[in-house]
Structure 1
Amino acid sequence: MNQTSALRVQGALPARKAKTPVSFSTRRRIVLAAGGAGLAMALAAPAMAAEDQVNNEIVVTATKREQTLQQVPVAVTVTTADVINRAKIRDIKDLTSVVPSLRVSEHQSSAQTDFLIRGFGNGANNAGIEPSVGVFIDGVYRSRSAAQIADFPDVKRVEVLRGPQSTLFGKNASAGVVSISTMEPQFKPGGSAEVSYGNYNALVVKGMYTTPLSDTVAVSVAGGYNRRDGFAHDGATGSSTNNRNRWFARGQLLWAPDNGPRVRIIADYSQINETCCAVVNLLSSSSTAAIQAVGGKVNPPSNPYGDVYNNFPSTNRIRDYGFSAQIDHEIHGVKLTSITAYRHNTNYNNQDSDFTSADLLGQNSANVRINTFTQELRATAKLGERVNLLLGAYYFNEKINQTGALLYGSQMRSYADLLIRGASANTLNVASLEGTFGTLQGNPAKYTGQFFKQGTGLSEAYHLANEAISIFGQMDWKIAPRVTLTGGLNYTRDNKHYSTGVVSSDVFSGIDLNAMRTAATNAGIAQTIGGLLSVPGGFASPAQIAAFAGANPTAYNSVVTGVSNQTAQLLALRALQFMPPFLNVPNAVEPGRTNDGNLSFTARVAYEASKHMNFYASIGTGFKASSINLSRDSRPALSDAAAIAASGLATTNLRYGGRFARPEKSTVYEVGMKANWSVATLNFAAFYQSIKDFQSNIFTGIGFDLLNADKESVYGFEFEGSVRPTSELTLAAAVTYLVPKYNRFTNSSFGDISGARPAGIAPISTTMSATWDKPIGGEQHIILRGNWHYESPVQNQDGMPGFITKNPLTGAIISYQTGLDAARPFKRTVSEIDASATWQLSKKFELSVWGRNLTDNRYITVIFDSPAQSGSISGYVNTPRTFGLAALAKF
């Protein structure tokens, strides 16, 4: 369910000029409430932070009762607006540095970002795959990563909810939730403006203004611009990559009468136009030598953080806009919430996907258009003094249309020629293959100049329509003064219809090499025996061959063996059949639709041991519906092979894999403790979490395999604590310990890897911070903040558990290792220090100097098989040291 709204500020309305003022208790509170994107969040939902924090307490009402963050029995991390400002967090990706259970990584474009919580997550690189971690902005679900990239303008708080959240969030949160809330319009004029300038010519300008229009209506506007030169120099084009160039605008209207419905309307628009993302060579092979032989350049593996090489800059253009309307109204003690939202996202990217200066792949483009409509209704009520109840329904409707192309460049033919020569001891080449294959089919000129021809490849078109509805409810029952039971159910029905329109013009990939080998072997035998018999024309007839075999069996067997060994070289060329003919769907065997239903539940008991400490134990389940493979690697399931053959649908070189992945179903068992002693806080959770049929999307060097891992699990613990030894100093620490495992994964791209440890998930992630706020007279303060984020060494491979060595041409596995070995080069260790120093001249103005990754800790975020370069390994680089100055004014 796509609900974030129960996490929304409500209860205490913004103060007005007239009317009765809002009352406050001795401890000033702002109550989070029924407003956000989902009925599903009002009762016992994961807690969201409030706007104010007093006596080291954050007040929340996730269960429709006032509670502190420490009292709410859910694993949740809250990042406040003050931390975001001090740490100079600019977008969702930067959150990793302050939330160790969250990992955010950017891949081949600005629109491809993965979110992982407790090691679980997916969704990038394929528009047909919904993420396992749901991202919500102002209560509205952002279904794809291209729509999730957001700078932080008037942000109020960010909540990271860990573990399955499907009871209240439905099908979009099988691994967790990231929820971002912005400030509502206020009934007192005010605003802020910030300007920051840093290295790489980085400029960030953002601001917001709010004002009342009447006693019941207030509005706000916010906007920002973020630009930066790229930090990776392209040695071929002379330009730079990994730059920033994005802007946004947002407007809000709040109608909040003393009596009657409360309405919040939000409209936003944003654009991104960037060059991303830098890819470097980490392991060279004979493919690398072939690239250099045709005049291409690639960085040496010994210098992964120097120049990158492309023959054209990658293009990333994203346009995202939408609106939402939230209505809250109370009738006879029942609080009603309606949230209506529409979003449109367009994402165009074109990339030099061979990541070299050679023109091998001249185009790899995708134009994705996503339209999403959501409607949520929620009702919450308190039954007596002990029971809180929530009931709701949610509707989701989304349409995705994608077109694109993957085409060969001008040097692909020369490159392939070198690979073929090298693999055949110079007995084969592109031109000879064209002549041989044409001759075997009766026309020697049939294929002349057609293999690996510039401009040939794939033209692509995909369509997906998704409709889903959820019905949910949750109840809190205080069975004793200090004991509360929580139970919740969610039933989701999800339907998808999809179609493909992919056409291959790659002539070589359309050749049946098995048939060609058979024909070539027969022709070779006939020619060899014809020469031995001095047959006119050179080729022996079948009768002559049979007679020779009968009279000279030993010589005949020798001829057959010799010719067969020579023609066997043809089968090794399958590795160069990158884009074979495509079997489109729907067809007579594959209907092009999925229909999933699921019942998720939550059960929890919470015990308040004292006013300072409480405990909880819970079990919950999660669900993510089937994902559709909207890519050139969309292939029929192996189980459909017989039916496809019987229907005459099988295409040449038809490969089998996955059109779609079955639904994910997750389960978490968790116990936790939360404590607050005024000067110190402590939150602890221990858990075991598993996902059945985890939707694995693994890059193979040519494309992505969408597969179901039978079962993946993780156990571990999370600790968050803070202490305030003096009124000026606050120390905080957070630690996440994870032990992930593929319990069973029999059909991975690399065979049965059951029992292996998934790559890229650090066993230990930790964040430590210190903030010193020193008054220096009047309203002036000096505020120093430092933050250290560390991730222990981990094998860094795209979804695979070990380092794989392959044959340079065939891609066959030569060796396969698991575990972590100091001799293996592809390990990632993160150790980043961020800091800021602020001179607050008054409550209205401050100056800051800041830095992120101050020690310039460089590492590779993700590694993968180099496209069209079997045996080579490539990877994405992290962001180097950045620093700058900032000025913030409030008015």
Structure 2
Amino acid sequence: MLCAANLPVLAHAQDAAASTDSSGGVDAFDYGNEIIVTASKRSQTLQDTPIAVSVASAAEIENAQIRDLIDLQSAVPSLRVSQLQSSANTNFIIRGFGNGANNAGIEPSVGVFIDGVYRSRSAAQIGDLPNLERVEVLRGPQSTLFGKNASAGVISIVTQKPQYDFGGSVEATYGNFDAITVKGNVTGPISDTAAFSIGGNYNRRDGYAYDVNLGTDVNDRNRWGLRGQLLFEPTDALSIRLIADYDKIDENCCIAGNVIAGPTVAITNALAGGPSVDANNPFSYRVYNNFLSTNEIENYGGSAQIDYDLGNLALTSITAYREVRADTNQDSDFTSADLIGQNSQQLGIDTWTQEVRLTSDFDGPVNFLVGGYYFNEKIDQKNDIRFGTHFRPYGDQLIRAASDNALNVAMLEGTLGALEGAPTKYVGSFFRAGDGLDEAYRMSNTAWSIFGTLDFEFTDRLMLTVGANYTKDRKRFATNVISNDVFSGVNLDAAAYTPFRQALLIGAGVDPATAAFLAANPTMTLPDGSSANPLAGLKAFQFLPPFLNLPNAVEDGRTNDSDLAYSARLSYELTDTVNVYATYATGFKASSVNLSRDSRPLAADLPAITSGGLRTPNLVAGSRFADPEESEVYEAGLKAQWSVAALNLAVFKQSIKGFQSNIFTGTGFALANAGKQSTFGIEFDGSVRPVRGLNLTLAMTYLDPKYDSFVNSAFGDISGTKPAGIADLSMSLGGTYTHEFAGGTRAIFHADYLYESPVRIVEGLQGIPQAVADSLKREVNQLNASFTVALTNGLEVGVWGRNLTNAQYLTTVFPAVAQSGSVSGYPSQPRTYGGTVRFKF
């Protein structure tokens, strides 16, 4: 199992105390050593680190065939990773808390750091890194050890430094779906005071799904990357580590299957001239689209880490600059009918960060860490969404169905134009192919923080650690969105249409006097809750209304947040092998900005917008941004390690006030703050070695989450309910057996099993009865295994399989785009297997 929190392996290959195998790497099966982690920004054993953290060593990542961060969840039960509609949209969730996908203006609640450098969006996090040393997953709010606040947790990825002994490895894998993966790295000395390393990776795979309409495989993989490092150590006190990397993704992703076929499927089938979806069968991996989705992503940058030893003080500086360029397009109606002809995005993210830390190492009872952090990011995003050739006849059928065939597109165009005195004004313009939205968004984010911790060692066994982080965060954002969706710009409440509304009411059996009154007061609500306007039902088809851009006279397009987060932790060494700790900590995440076509003024701003003459047709209230998240955790834990067994136990109550919820409604996303979301949880992981060579592990997480308060959700007041997608019980059970033959050859068998108890996938679905939405559940039963033979000359040959049980579950579901009553969902990946040859030298 990947979760190495209980395996006594040494994570630092450069430590002279580590035993090595014949290839020069760390021997993951030397039971005399301990895991060294830097979660506390100091090198400590895992047992001595009073933080809830899981650690995966490089050896375990190899044995478990962890291909990327998405696979990491199979061994860390508190972590959940979901890939959504593109390769650049991946959501990380720890202890049930997480967000950040689907909108570049939403910073994730789970922070991802690679070699100490913060990666602000998932497009910059998903590359296949060569030569990993370890992955640390820190659970709960992390503020006082990281300059960049993370309100839910941190994933810290550490790659191996350049070595002064020449060596490296090369690896090739072939698997089903014609999967080919090649990785390699080499490291060695340049001089007595300088070393280098360079690594590369190539990862391609045919699609595991089939597009019946286009006659081609889809959901393929095609990515490669390079990573180079230089290490300069001119003196014993000074170390300079330079890193540069480049990753490229160019693949077709991601399919959505049809979960519920609603009434619009009959329309899309007729328009497509045959099946437009594989109805009610999301796990057939047979989809119907009218153009291939594309994901072209470049992620590159560099960093410089300078460490200077001042004796009892250590100074660290990390400077980094990164760029992300993503160009995506998707047939987002997920049917072979040409409804959405284009839904593209060109995204550019430029990020510069600077961190400075000073850490003490005194013999006395008091030690400290103090640091400063600066973050500067610019986002430039352009989107285009266009109606396809079938959207006009599709819209016509929707209007006919909504009006019991009393209306159609051509009648509306002629009638509304005539009432405005221009009979041909709208002819042929409603739902016209090629019409839609041209979108442009810009955001600049500047943040800085001062953070630190102070350790008081009362006795050799009792320590108090307090910490604080003061953060200042400012964002400026602007939009330039232009709609040429003609029908969405029509005000169906306009006075000019009064005769038309009156005629419709009389035709529906309303007496003339009442009809005249209602037609003149179309915004009035009737006693049964319906609208007085007989055209009101058509407003649901005004998909892309005119956009009120900002900054404007009422909305300045700025946020300005500040916060003081703090923590207190008491740790006590009960014995030489058992430690306990208790923690109280807070965390913070600044406001997130709604950089999407669903950005709408706050309800409180509408009166000023109206009085200022800024109101656009069909403008409704929504959100421009979500207020900050403030997290809090109470936690108690126990860590123990003996010669043949180890365990970690944590009990916690964690909450986030103002959790930033971003829910898809079928035509867009609703960004809103939950009043408060809290979770009570218990985490356990342990290992035992009953005989030499055999290591058994078990990790379990129990979560009991709820919305303490969420009045303004996309589905109304859901206060007191359980958040969707968070399993009560997650468990990872694993075992590794190593047999060493005479002469040193080793055979290594590894297996791990992931279980997640059944859980409701979504809080609700627009246009779907709540009971039906509640019935959509996810349960995970996934088995992974590998068998490797390692020869004494550095050659390793192995076979592996992931999801050997071919577990099928929906990672998420959502209302089908502009298809009321239909539901789409992202299915899990099918079984994969293959063989690997690796040579270490």
TM-score tier by shorter-chain length is over 0.9
1:131 aligns with: 108
Mean alpha-carbon deviation: is it higher for 407-416 or for 235-244?
A: 235-244
Q: 2:202 matched to which residue of 1?
A: 225
CA contact 2:257–2:281 (8 Å) conserved in 1: no
The answer on whether the counterparts of 1:410 and 1:454 sit within 8 Å (CA) in structure 2 is yes
In the alignment, the residues of structure 2 paired with residue 411 and residue 818 of structure 1 have an alpha-carbon distance, to the nearest angstrom, of: 29
Residues 842-853 of structure 1 mapped to structure 2, 5 A cutoff: 842=792, 844-853=794-803
Amino acid at match of 2:325: T
Give the letter for the 2:835 counterpart. Answer: L
**Counterparts of 1:633-652 in structure 2 under 5 Å?**
633-652=598-617
Q: CA deviation at 1:70?
A: 1.6
Q: Secondary structure at the match of 1:369?
A: strand
Q: Taking structure 2 as the reference length, what is the TM-score of the superposition?
A: 0.93
**Structure-2 residue corresponding to 1:832:** 782
Largest Rg, 1 or 2: 1
Contact 1:280 1:875 in 2 (8 A): yes
Could you say if the C-alpha distance between residues 396 and 242 of structure 1 is closer, same or farther in structure 2, counting changes exceeding 3 Å? same
Alpha-carbon distance in structure 1 between the residues aligned to 2:608 and 2:256: 42
Change (3 A) 1:66 1:197: closer
SS of structure 2 residue aligned to 1:514: coil
What letter matches 2:770 in structure 1?
Answer: Y
- Cα distance in 2 between the residues matched to 1:575 and 1:387: 64
Q: Indicate conservation of the 8 Å contact 1:311/1:359, yes or no.
A: yes
Measure the CA separation in 2 of the matches of 1:148 and 1:301: 33
- Farther-moved stretch of structure 1 (559-568 vs 184-193): 559-568
Q: Secondary structure at the match of 1:575?
A: helix
Q: Which residue of 1 aligns with 2:5?
A: none
Q: Is 1:425 equivalent to 2:390 in the alignment?
A: no
1:391 to 340, 352, 370: 370
What letter is aligned with 1:156?
E
Amino acid at match of 1:874: S
Q: Quickly say closer, same or farther: Cα 1:781–1:382, change in 2 above 3 A.
A: closer
Residue number in structure 2 paired with 1:631: 596
1:502-535 Cα distance to aligned partner (Å, 9 max, x none): 000000000111226952446639999xxxxxxx
Q: Any conservation in 2 of the 1:440–1:519 contact (CA below 8 Å)?
A: no
C-alpha distance in structure 1 between counterparts of 2:346 and 2:13, whole Å: 43
Residue in 2 aligned with 1:108?
Answer: 85
- 344, 348, 354: which one aligns with 1:365: 344
Distance (whole Å) between structure 2 residues aligned to residue 259 and residue 285 of structure 1: 69
1:491 aligns with 2:470: yes
Structure 1 residues 561 and 343: CA distance shift in structure 2, 3 A: closer
Please state if 1:336 is matched with 2:315: yes
Matching of residue 315 in structure 1 with residue 294 in structure 2: yes
Residues 533-559 of structure 1: per-residue CA shift (max 9 Å, x gap): xxxxxxxxxxxxxxxxxxxx9764588
SS at match of 1:513: coil
Deviations 1:347-387 (A, max 9, x none): 11000010000100100011000000001111111344212
Q: Which residue number corresponds to residue 179 of structure 2?
A: 202
- 1:567 shift after superposition: 8.5
Find the aligned partners of 1:644 and 1:190 in 2 and give their Cα distance: 66
User: Relative to 1, partners in 2 of residues 1:427 and 1:613: Cα closer, same or farther, differing over 3 Å?
Assistant: same
What amino acid maps onto 2:462 in structure 1? V
CA distance in 1, matches of 2:421, 2:472: 56
Counterparts in 2 of 1:607 and 1:843: CA distance versus 1, 3 Å = farther
Go from structure 1 to structure 2 and tell me whether the alpha carbon gap of 1:499 and 1:525 turns closer, same or farther (over 3 Å shift). Answer: closer
Instruction: Report matched runs for 1:463-612 at 5 Å.
Output: 463-515=442-494, 519-521=498-500, 524=503, 556-557=513-514, 568-612=533-577
Distance in 2 separating the partners of 1:756 and 1:526: 41
Counterpart code for 1:876:
Y
**Aligned mates of 1:757, 1:151 — CA distance in 2:** 35
Q: Which residue of 2 aligns with 1:677?
A: 642
Q: Alpha carbons of 1:96 and 1:65: their partners in 2 closer, same or farther (altered >3 Å)?
A: closer
Unmatched segments (≥5 aa) in structure 2: 1-8, 21-25, 523-529
Counterpart position of 1:816? 770
* Equivalent-residue separation in structure 2 for 1:168 and 1:207 (angstroms): 33
CA distance in 2, matches of 1:75, 1:143: 23
Residue deviations 1:244-289, cap 9 Å, x none? 0000000000012343421000000010001000101111111111
Write the letter of the residue equivalent to 2:142: Q
The alpha carbon displacement at 1:484 in A equals 0.2
- Relative to the length of structure 1, the TM-score reads 0.88
In structure 2, how many angstroms separate the alpha carbons of the residues matched to 1:68 and 1:478? 17
Distance between the aligned counterparts of 2:245 and 2:43, measured in 1? 31
Is residue 888 from structure 1 mapped to residue 838 from structure 2 by the alignment? Answer: yes
My pick for the range that moved more, 418-427 or 782-791, is: 418-427
Contact 1:50 1:60 in 2 (8 A): no
Structure 1 residues 431 and 50 mapped into 2: Cα distance closer, same or farther (>3 Å)?
farther
Give the direction of change, closer, same or farther, for the CA distance of 1:286–1:251 in structure 2 (3 Å limit): same
| C-alpha distance in 2 between matches for 1:340 and 1:229 | 38
Distance 1:445 1:485, change over 3 A: same
Q: Find out whether 1:80 has 2:57 as its counterpart.
A: yes
Where 2:686 maps in the other structure, the secondary structure is: strand
Q: Which moved more, 1:863-872 or 1:63-72?
A: 63-72
> Of 812, 815, 823, which residue of structure 2 is paired with 1:865?
815
Q: Is the 8 A contact 1:517 1:567 kept in 2?
A: no
1:68 deviates by: 2.2
Which residue in the other structure is 1:374 paired with? Answer: 353
Deviation at 1:66, TM superposition (A): 6.1
Distance 1:484 1:517, change over 3 A: farther
Question: 1:56 touches 1:678 (CA, 8 Å); kept in 2?
Answer: no
Tell me which residue corresponds to 1:752.
Answer: 717
Corresponding residue for residue 271 of structure 2: 294
Matched pairs, number: 816
Answer yes or no: is the 8 Å Cα contact 2:11–2:134 preserved in 1: no
Output the CA distance in 2 between the equivalents of 1:206 and 1:234.
30
Equivalent pair of 1:473/1:489 in contact (CA under 8 Å): yes
User: Structure 2: which amino acid aligns with 1:460?
Assistant: E
Contact persistence 2:39–2:136 (CA under 8 A): no
Structure 2: distance between partners of 1:623 and 1:527: 58
Comparing 471-480 with 220-229, greater Cα deviation is found at: 471-480
CA drift at 1:776: 2.4
Instruction: Identify which range, 456-465 or 53-62, moves more after superposition.
Output: 53-62
Distance in 1 between residues matched to 2:825 and 2:220, nearest whole Å: 18
Deviation at 1:304, TM superposition (A): 3.6
> Per-residue displacement from partner, 1:94-125 (whole Å, max 9, x unpaired)?
10101110000100000000000001000000
Structure 1 stretches of 5 or more lacking a match?
A: 1-8, 15-21, 30-48, 529-552, 807-812
Query: What is the distance in 2 between the residues matched to 1:659 and 1:287?
Result: 32
When residues 374 and 523 of structure 1 are mapped into structure 2, their CA distance, relative to the original with a 3 A threshold, is same
Equivalent-residue separation in structure 2 for 1:381 and 1:558 (angstroms): 81
Does the Cα contact within 8 Å between 1:13 and 1:256 map onto a contact in 2?
no
Alignment of 1:112-261 (within 5 A): 112-261=89-238
Residues 1:514 and 1:473: Cα distance change in structure 2 (over 3 Å):
same
Query: Taking structure 1 as reference, are residues 501 and 776 closer, same or farther at Cα in structure 2, changes over 3 Å only?
Result: same
Q: How many angstroms apart in 1 are the aligned matches of 2:619 and 2:476?
A: 23
Partner residue in 1 for 2:735 = 770
State the match for 2:624 in structure 1.
659
Specify the SS of the correspondent of 2:191.
coil
- How far apart are the structure 2 equivalents of 1:656 and 1:558? 29
**Structure 2 Cα separation of the partners of residues 63 and 871 of structure 1:** 50
- 1:426 and 1:413 map into 2 onto residues whose CA distance is 16
C-alpha distance in structure 2 between counterparts of 1:213 and 1:158, whole Å: 28
> In structure 2, the residue corresponding to 1:438 is in which secondary structure?
helix
| 635 and 494 in structure 1: CA distance in 2 versus 1, 3 angstrom threshold | same
**Equivalent-residue separation in structure 1 for 2:574 and 2:125 (angstroms):** 40
CA contact (8 A) 2:313 2:360 kept: yes
* AA of the residue aligned to 1:486: T
Matched with 1:874 is 824
Distance (whole Å) between structure 1 residues aligned to residue 136 and residue 822 of structure 2 = 40
Give distance in 2, aligned partners of 1:347 and 1:718. Answer: 37
Q: Distance in 2 between matches of 1:747 and 1:527?
A: 38
How far did 1:54 drift?
Answer: 4.3
